[in-house]
Structure 1
Amino acid sequence: MYLIFQRILTGLFKLLSVIRCLRSTIVQYVAFNPPEVGYLIRNRNEVIKTITLSPMQEERSRTLDEPQSPLIQVKQPIRQSHQLTKEHLSIISPRIKYYNTLQSAEYKQQLRNPKNQDQYPSQEFNFISNELKAMEIDNNPGLPISSYVLESKSGNLIASIYIEFQNSEQIILYSHGNSTDIGLMFDTYVDIVMECKINLFSYDYSGYGQSTGYPTDINLLYDIESAYIFLVDQLQFEPRNIIIYGYSIGSGPSTNLASRHDVGGLIIHSGLSSGLRVIDPTIDHTSYNDIFPNLDYIVDVTAPVYLLHGGADSMINVVHAEQLAQNAHHLFSVWLVENGGHGDIDSQWKELYFKRLQRFLQYCQTAYVVRPQQKQNKRTTKHIYDECNFDKEIFQISLLEM
């Protein structure tokens, strides 16, 4: 009976997806679940103290032009600013604290900035508490934190966070899962930076956090494209030092990006082989209208691939990791955690999680492969993504006038 229900759902999606606009609407409301916004971004050159905010009354797309907009929607989850331990601070050189102006020469010298700091200024990243107050992150002297707002090809403004670790040339481009944003993921990001001694850049998908627009699979591909180009062209990271990390639904844009660009490595954490296979893992042929067909795009990934998945994952079955492993040409390792769930591997198996992650990052430093200029496409299935041009992305950095 359940098998029949699966077939009906997948068949209905394929039928309705014939109409492009209808497909986008279905994907937006079925596949994505943006949470309540848990953070605030303000210009670094403003005086940023704890302030009381009122709930947002207007549409998200208009908030970036409103002087007093809190950029939040409704009641916010409880968040606390991250506390670094003495052990953390002892392993890195003393760094500067935040400055309230972009004119500080010391700040410009010590924090990696885009080519033109006047044109691409940093932003402040703040949490939103349950009392609707913005809390400045002023207790991280060893971890300079910047936030940038990118404009993707879709025209949406994409909020991002950049956490720097001194003397590290590698950086993780992290695409988070569903039902979260970069504010809720902050503690996880700091743990990765401190344990792996690596830079980290993450962004919110269109319609998530403070990013404008609506979430669709196509928009997510545009979002991560803007992030990647920003890392290469503005933050000056070499492609070989950019490690793509996709968790859950973030495995979609991550795998697609790694299949088209030179990157240092690809990490798929609790990822999916394709959207329709989440409903029915037994699907043999990938539909033209399927969402995030990672199973087909991972064939074109020339970088090392590291897969980790929970054996007891009730949201995305472990068979997805097995399918992806079979199609990966440069597979580093597959870690199937026997009793692991969808979102507890990095917490319940924390020590082993970081040990394996560190090993993969070290391997990526010596296993870089340059993508051939004219590479034969091994995929036999054509997807709707093939009609989109992601390689000639043009983006801007936009100031938040608040």
Structure 2
Amino acid sequence: MGNVTSGVAAKFAFFPPDPPTYDVRQDEDGRLAMRGITPDMNMNVHLLDTKGGNKIVANFWRHPMARFTLLYSHGNAADLGQMHELFVELRAHLRVNIMSYDYSGYGGSSGKPSELNTYYDIEAVYNCLKKEYGMKQEDLIVYGQSVGSGPTLHLASRLQRLRGVVLHSAILSGLRVLYPVKMTLWFDIFKNIDKIRRVNCPVLVMHGTNDEVVDWYHGKRLWELSKEKYEPLWVKGGGHCNLETYPDYIKHLRRFINEMERIPVAKPEKELDSKPSLTDESTKHIGCLRLKKKVPGSKKEVDRDSETG
């Protein structure tokens, strides 16, 4: 059984940039800084301990007029150094704080990348937001790009008062990117198709219609399964790695952020504690998802009738 799981993980591989595009140093005043990234007085660098025993790098980008904070989980083949320019643009255009982080084994974060570690990573980042910045769920929007949709939906499915979720070129599950399976199998990874049903806040889905890495159907199905659907953005002609180059990308995001300011939040149910435990049964500069195997064909080979997996 373990061999099957590791086989799926091997095909659905992680690709951290090698070498990393930055490193972390401590300045004379004791503050952490990132060598390789232009200094920003409104950016704080953190080294966070995870339940997996790793130390991960996280950056908090502050906007003086921000109402919300965007917790951004990036794509597979990127680290924070490569995402720097995008975060600067998003902070300026959306007027939000941004909390970004590198998964275990990416950039200046220690350890090895794995599905389980990405869950530990985002939990550590969320706990930092609560402890260091007094962040409330009601003021948090979680954003997952490509593989980052896995940890994003892991967290969103467990927090009941989030303001919103953004899924950018997201996946239904790891196995579904590789093969046209008709049900969720126990050894699958990043089972987003199941977790999206437990998200109780508005969900914005953005996907390119010409995505050759993660078929557009993944985004469409995630949107269909969302409880609180926000108007999706289907970028005509968009691929897997270039949605942010289309004008509609930032316009649609800005509209979503503005509308989130006007809606009430969900009633509280269960709060994630300060040291969360996993509840899964198993468990321009945009980094793209890369796979070791490419599925022949596209839309017609993905199961259209899958409701539970």
TM score, norm. by length of structure 2: 0.83
Alpha carbon RMSD of aligned pairs, Å?
A: 2.1
Query: For residue 369 of structure 1, what is the aligned residue in structure 2?
Result: 266
Work out whether 1:311 is the aligned partner of 2:216: no
CA contact (8 A) 1:239 1:263 kept: yes
Work out whether 1:357 is the aligned partner of 2:253: yes
Work out whether 1:40 is the aligned partner of 2:16: no
Deviation, structure 1 residue 203 = 0.6
| Alpha carbons of structure 1 residues 175 and 312: separation in structure 2 relative to 1, 3 Å | same
Work out whether 1:269 is the aligned partner of 2:164: no
Deviation, structure 1 residue 25 = 7.1
> In the aligned structure 2, how far is the partner of 1:24 from the partner of 1:232?
34
Higher RCO, 1 or 2 (CA under 8 Å, sep at least 6)?
2
> In the aligned structure 2, how far is the partner of 1:365 from the partner of 1:225?
25
> In the aligned structure 1, how far is the partner of 2:81 from the partner of 2:157?
28
Query: For residue 386 of structure 1, what is the aligned residue in structure 2?
Result: 281
Q: AA paired with 1:264? A: R
State the identity as a percent.
31
| Alpha carbons of structure 1 residues 258 and 184: separation in structure 2 relative to 1, 3 Å | same
CA contact (8 A) 2:174 2:189 kept: yes
Residues 74-113 of structure 1: per-residue CA shift (max 9 Å, x gap): xxxxxxxxxxxxxxxxxxxxxxxxxxx26xxxxxxxxxxx
Q: What are the equivalent positions in structure 2 for 1:2-401 lying under 5 Å apart?
A: 18-19=1-2, 23-24=5-6, 27=9, 30-36=12-18, 37-44=20-27, 46=28, 101=29, 122-127=31-36, 137-138=38-39, 140=40, 144-261=42-159, 262-280=161-179, 282-347=180-245, 349=246, 351-367=247-263, 368-373=265-270, 385-386=280-281
Deviation, structure 1 residue 387 = 5.3
| Alpha carbons of structure 1 residues 256 and 371: separation in structure 2 relative to 1, 3 Å | farther
CA contact (8 A) 1:289 1:384 kept: no
Q: AA paired with 1:385? A: D
SS at match of 2:82: coil
SS at match of 1:315: coil
The structure having more radius of gyration, on CA atoms, is 1
CA contact (8 A) 1:24 1:216 kept: no
Q: AA paired with 1:125? A: M
CA contact (8 A) 2:209 2:234 kept: yes
> In the aligned structure 1, how far is the partner of 2:165 from the partner of 2:14?
23
Q: AA paired with 1:322? A: K
Deviation, structure 1 residue 246 = 0.3
* Alignment gaps of 5+ in structure 1: 1-17, 47-100, 103-121, 128-134, 375-382, 389-402
Deviation, structure 1 residue 352 = 1.8
Deviation, structure 1 residue 384 = 8.8
Deviation, structure 1 residue 260 = 0.4
> In the aligned structure 1, how far is the partner of 2:215 from the partner of 2:23?
35
Deviation, structure 1 residue 27 = 1.6
Deviation, structure 1 residue 263 = 1.7
Query: For residue 291 of structure 2, what is the aligned residue in structure 1?
Result: none
> In the aligned structure 2, how far is the partner of 1:28 from the partner of 1:186?
29
Residues 262-304 of structure 1: per-residue CA shift (max 9 Å, x gap): 3211100000011111012x42211122111111100000011
CA contact (8 A) 1:259 1:301 kept: yes
Runs of 4+ that moved beyond 4 A? none
Residues 18-44 of structure 1: per-residue CA shift (max 9 Å, x gap): 127x73575257421111200121123
SS at match of 2:111: coil
Residues 197-254 of structure 1: per-residue CA shift (max 9 Å, x gap): 1110111011111111111101101100111111112211111111100001000110
Aligned length: 274
Q: AA paired with 1:270? A: S
